Amino acid sequence: MLSTGIRLSAALALTDADVDIERGELVVQRAKGNRVERVILGRDIWDHLIGYLAERAPGPLFPGWSGRPMTRRQAVRRLEGWMKRAGCQG
């Protein structure tokens, strides 16, 4: 989601239903100010997202351990773990 400018909370709320395959867009239901936004994705990101959607069950794009949408805390912990493994300092 880095290349889209989507805020973390809006990204975590995305579901497969928010992906407009025909238009190559995400429909962000929970954008800042409680407005709906359409985000056009680059080809590389789009190709990756289509592959990701094909391999999983419908629901949140970023599921937590319970299958419900990942919480902000879970996302931050995962990112911290990946950064640590990569040798990056946060």
User: The pTM is what?
Assistant: 0.78
- The alpha carbon of residue 47 and the mean position of all alpha carbons in its chain are separated, in whole angstroms, by 14
pLDDT of residue 89: 73
pLDDT of residue 65: 84
pLDDT of residue 90: 55
pLDDT of residue 2: 62
Instruction: Determine the Cα–Cα distance for residues 35 and 22; give it in Å rounded to an integer.
Output: 22
Cα four-point dihedral sign 50, 54, 59, 64: negative
pLDDT of residue 77: 92
Residue numbers of the chain with a pLDDT score lower than 50: none
| 33 φψ region: left (φ > 0), alpha (ψ -120 to 50), beta (else) | left
In single-letter form, the type of residue at position 84 comes to K
